[in-house]
Amino acid sequence: MFGYAGKILRINLTTGKISTEEISEEFVRQYLGGLGFTTRILYNEVPADIDPLSEANKVIISPGVFVGTGFPTASKTALSFKSPLTGTFGRNNVGAEMGVQMRKAGYDVFIIEGKSDKPVYVYIKDDRVEIKDASDLWGKDTYETRAILKERYGKKASTAVIGPAGENLSYMAMIDFDMRQAARGGSGAVLGSKKLKAIVCEGTGKVEVHDKEAARKLISEYNRIIREHPATKADMDYGSGEFYSWMNLERGTFPTRNFQWGYFQSVYDNIKDGELSQIDPYYWSPKYTVKHNPCPNCTKPCGRILEIKEGEYAGTKIDGVEYEIMYSLGGALEIDDAEVLIKLNEIADRMGFDGISAGVTIGWAMEAYEKGLLTKDDLDGIELKFGNGKAAIAVLEKMGRKEGKVGELLINGTKYASEKLGKDSYKFAIHVKGLELPAYDVRGIKGLGLAFAVSVRGACHLTAGVYGLELVGSWWKYSDVDRLSTEWKGYEVASLENLMTLYDIVGVCKFSRHMFFLEKFIPYLKAITGWDWADENYMMTVGERVYNIQKAFNVKAGFSRKDDTLPYRVTHDPIPKGVSKGAYIKEEELQQMLDEYYLARGWSKDGVPTKTKLFTLGLPEIAEEIGAGI
């Protein structure tokens, strides 16, 4: 099979058994790779009703189909697991060198299962696979762990490691893949529950492709598109947050102060001519950037290494600051201090937290303190006020180590903390299904609001990826989109979920989705596999099939329409000021969008895939298991 290694590596941490399995061509054609493989394997092997931190959970890892073949920005490796944070289908897509090394080592999939009774790590070099003692690594942060493993196995060995948050089973714990985070939903806690501190992988082979010359020509053409695209320079100079001031001033949808404001009022209302908000990359990027830090095969890197060389935080060095973090550890906390932001970013990465969830959780605690629902005593004496950077730093460190009352309260995220506190604190708990909202004030971006409500893993901006289309109004084949209207959003979100699932299957970065559309994937897939029959219809059907399986997992886990909802603040509190003043999503608007979305998907009114839809997608056994109606 050209374009594939053709093998699954299964590692059982309970028995210590290591085995390999062949992947059939039929399976490959139905699910293609990446998120397609991980989704189907998780559905087949992990019962949906298990405790996510029990031995029965698994972490399935698979690089996108184009990863390791040279396609520019094809860097993404998929992970699937049952999420400890949400209880739903869990997934990550991460720009991991490990995906490239997996394929060179001869594997398309890792299945990590069982549970060790002592800390271990897994070392893989081609056919050599060993489970090794990790007692010397346990307790170390992600930077320290990575450095030790690189020292031990050399710089070329790719690593995936967890930090103290994962060891402490924080529902918000991530897995760090060589400074890229598989962040959302608590995959780090699943590894922590298995006492698996790290995976190290190195391969010496390569992926065989069907027509090297055709692939080479396409890669060269696609690199030219990147070079000549007007967005490339800005992306490379300022990273993913390049549009920060536009989001504040032109759209009024940069959520600030725990979603109290739709733009950073305390900064932009006071800014003088020529001044910049300090968390704006136009301020910090020229000042702190040391070098670019691309994901594998990226020729338009948004990633950069920042270093603070002097002052209170001298020596702080990170890959960042990504747009989401500018919000979650900046605006959401009303912090407009670049060095504090960089420091917070470093602590989140070292501790092994999803920086979005951890920041939003601190924002919730700040509001609870402001409202008098949490006292200084509840916060171990910390003055956790909005804008207090030192307090945020102290709290984030305590969360990672699960220290004190505040560490215990906040370690598992906003939903857990607000349920523990009670006292109507749900009214400002900013999550959907337990997953904290990303950096878009959806009160003024209604289609994205629907996407957050229905996404299978909770509030996620990448599942449908509609934010660009909603904010700009047109993209690819879509046009005339009004972000403040609720019309046609069901169709928009459903079709883009299928398309974005396809990006996660082929492994192409969504930051290049304005450069490489579906049309570019088809000739390349043909070049590497030799499948001259593959067309748009086939590709989109794979995306839809995979998305429906994820939904079916959630249905089996007990989720339904009642869970496709939005935070109280989004449906009750209008944006107070700015370009989007007055906007919010009324409950009846959400219900109208849900009706249209389920119709567009071919699901029942309760949000369950119909038997007819599942049969059409070639999933008869799932139709029998969970299908609604006929």
Applying CB under 6 A, which residues contact ligand SF4?
73, 75, 95, 294-295, 298, 300-303, 509, 511
- Burial track 409-421 (b if 16+ CB lie within 10 A, e otherwise): bbbbbbbbbbeeb
Q: Measuring CA to CA, which residue among 83, 42, 57, 10 is closest to residue 413?
A: 83
Minimum distance, C-beta of residue 279 to ligand SF4, in the bound complex (Å): 19
Report the C-alpha gap between 379 and 369 in whole angstroms: 9
Minimum distance, C-beta of residue 43 to ligand SF4, in the bound complex (Å): 28
Q: Closest CB to ligand SF4 among 91 and 613?
A: 91
Q: Closest CB to ligand SF4 among 468 and 609?
A: 468
Q: Closest CB to ligand SF4 among 460 and 594?
A: 460
CA distances from 474 to 92, 477, 482, 628 (A): 27, 8, 9, 34
Q: Closest CB to ligand SF4 among 148 and 305?
A: 305
CA distances from 231 to 110, 249, 277, 510, 611 (A): 35, 20, 22, 14, 43
Q: Closest CB to ligand SF4 among 91 and 300?
A: 300
Minimum distance, C-beta of residue 295 to ligand SF4, in the bound complex (Å): 3
175-177, strands of its sheet edge to edge:
128-133, 120-125, 196-202, 158-161, 175-177, 180-182
Residue 543 near residue 30, CB atoms below 8 Å? no
Report the C-alpha gap between 113 and 111 in whole angstroms: 6
Q: Closest CB to ligand SF4 among 121 and 244?
A: 244
In the chain, what is the greatest distance between 2 CA atoms, to the nearest angstrom?
67
Report the C-alpha gap between 400 and 378 in whole angstroms: 17
CA distances from 128 to 158, 175, 225, 551, 625 (A): 15, 23, 40, 37, 39
In 344-394, which ranges are E strands? none
Minimum distance, C-beta of residue 75 to ligand SF4, in the bound complex (Å): 4
Minimum distance, C-beta of residue 563 to ligand SF4, in the bound complex (Å): 30
Q: What are phi and psi of 603, to 5 degrees?
A: -110, 170
Q: Show the tokens assigned to 134.
A: 């990790």
- In the structure, how many helices (H) and strands (E) does the chain have? 26, 17
Alpha helix positions (H), 154-239: 164-167, 187-193, 212-228, 231-238
Report the C-alpha gap between 285 and 535 in whole angstroms: 42
Q: Closest CB to ligand SF4 among 110 and 511?
A: 511
Q: Closest CB to ligand SF4 among 160 and 409?
A: 160
Minimum distance, C-beta of residue 294 to ligand SF4, in the bound complex (Å): 5
Minimum distance, C-beta of residue 362 to ligand SF4, in the bound complex (Å): 25
Minimum distance, C-beta of residue 212 to ligand SF4, in the bound complex (Å): 23
Report the C-alpha gap between 317 and 288 in whole angstroms: 9
Minimum distance, C-beta of residue 551 to ligand SF4, in the bound complex (Å): 27
Minimum distance, C-beta of residue 95 to ligand SF4, in the bound complex (Å): 4
Residue 326 near residue 344, CB atoms below 8 Å? no
Q: Closest CB to ligand SF4 among 333 and 509?
A: 509
Q: Closest CB to ligand SF4 among 93 and 486?
A: 93
Minimum distance, C-beta of residue 297 to ligand SF4, in the bound complex (Å): 8
Q: Closest CB to ligand SF4 among 302 and 396?
A: 302
Q: Measuring CA to CA, which residue among 87, 85, 59, 112 is closest to residue 186?
A: 85
